[in-house]
Chain A
Amino acid sequence: AQKVTQAQTEISVVEKEDVTLDCVYETRDTTYYLFWYKQPPSGELVFLIRRNSFDEQNEISGRYSWNFQKSTSSFNFTITASQVVDSAVYFCALSEDGTDSWGKLQFGAGTQVVVTP
């Protein structure tokens, strides 16, 4: 069963618009970790954020912000005032703390963000 769902396949925006990427996850563990990665056209994944299941505080880093809501099992990502350099595929991922799940990242299918000038 898919544990991380990114329902948006592609989002197209014009520069300076805000864009929100949805991520819904599924787990029975009480301790788990959520991640966002960016994959630019070069292919290399770039780590953006890690959040553990006990920390529901929202986080802001420059133009990036994250909204973690355990009640809805969501970990959404917003890019404010988008720029062309934000064009990439963004992946949400889940790591569970169980013995069989050690260290394994389960990725969503990704959301392609296209920012046009």
Chain B
Amino acid sequence: DGGITQSPKYLFRKEGQNVTLSCEQNLNHDAMYWYRQDPGQGLRLIYYSQIVNDFQKGDIAEGYSVSREKKESFPLTVTSAQKNPTAFYLCASSIAGGNEQFFGPGTRLTVL
């Protein structure tokens, strides 16, 4: 089945540690996105990538990093510089900008 997978579903991290969230898609989409959702709020864009080996900062990129070495994969690293990383992280992909984005099941990150 075509779709987007994110792993792990739940992630616990100690303060000061970097952690990488996985996102893979087999929809052959060029564009991929990372969003953060806090309780009771909408989604905020962290990073996005229009094409392999290229990515741009979104609205809240500080403390995060990404890579796009393959079309199918867009991992997100939450670094120790991110002051409040506990949140629900959603990955999405689309054919191109302006088109509907399809979302993965999300990763819930908790910093202990």
Task: Report which A residues bind B (CB closer than 8 A).
Answer: 4, 33, 35, 37, 42-47, 50, 91, 95, 97, 102-105, 107-110
The A/B interface has a contact count, at CB < 8 Å, of 61
A73 to B31 alpha-carbon distance, docked (Å): 28
Binding stretch for chain A, among B11-19, B61-69, B74-82, B92-100: B92-100
CB distance from A102 to the nearest CB of B (A): 4
In the complex, the 3 A-B pairs of residues with the closest C-beta atoms, listed nearest first: A103-B97, A107-B42, A45-B103
A47 & B102 in contact (Cβ 8 Å cutoff): yes
B105 & A42 in contact (Cβ 8 Å cutoff): yes
A109 & B97 in contact (Cβ 8 Å cutoff): no
Q: Mark B80-96, 1 if CB is under 8 A from A, else 0.
A: 00000000101010101
Whether, in the assembled complex, B101 has its beta carbon less than 8 Å from a beta carbon of chain A, the answer is yes
A43 & B100 in contact (Cβ 8 Å cutoff): no
CB distance from A40 to the nearest CB of B (A): 11
Residues of A within 8 A of B8 (CB): none
B97 & A95 in contact (Cβ 8 Å cutoff): yes
Given that A43-B88, A43-B105, A104-B48 are known contacts, is A33 also in contact with B42, CB under 8 Å in the complex?
no
B58 & A45 in contact (Cβ 8 Å cutoff): no
